A and B are shown apart, each in its own frame.
Chain A
Amino acid sequence: DIQMTQSPSSLSASVGDRVTITCQASQDISNYLNWYQQKPGKAPKLLIYDASNLETGVPSRFSGSGSGTDFTFTISSLQPEDIATYYCQQYDNLPPFFGGGTKVEIK
Chain B
Amino acid sequence: QVQLVQSGAEVKKPGSSVKVSCKASGGTFSSYAISWVRQAPGQGLEWMGRIIPILGIANYAQKFQGRVTITADKSTSTAYMELSSLRSEDTAVYYCARGGGSSGWQIDYWGQGTLVTVSS
Contact = CB atoms under 8 A, between A and B. Distances in A.
B16 interface: no
B45 A46 contact: no
B2 interface: no
B95 A98 contact: no
A98 B113 CA distance: 18
Contact-residue size bin, chain B (C-beta under 8 Å from the other chain): 20 to 34
Nearest to A50: B103
A91 B113 contact: no
B44 A101 contact: yes
Interface string A71-100: 000000000000000010101001111111
A44 B47 contact: no
Interface in B40-92: 44-47, 59, 61-63
Contact-residue size bin, chain A (C-beta under 8 Å from the other chain): 20 to 34
B14 interface: no
Contacts of A38: 45
B44 A55 contact: no
A43 B95 contact: yes
A15 B9 CA distance: 37
22 contacts: A1-B62, A32-B103, A32-B105, A38-B45, A43-B95, A43-B110, A43-B111, A43-B112, A44-B95, A44-B107, A49-B103, A50-B101, A50-B103, A55-B106, A55-B108, A89-B45, A89-B107, A94-B61, A95-B47, A95-B61, A98-B45, A101-B44
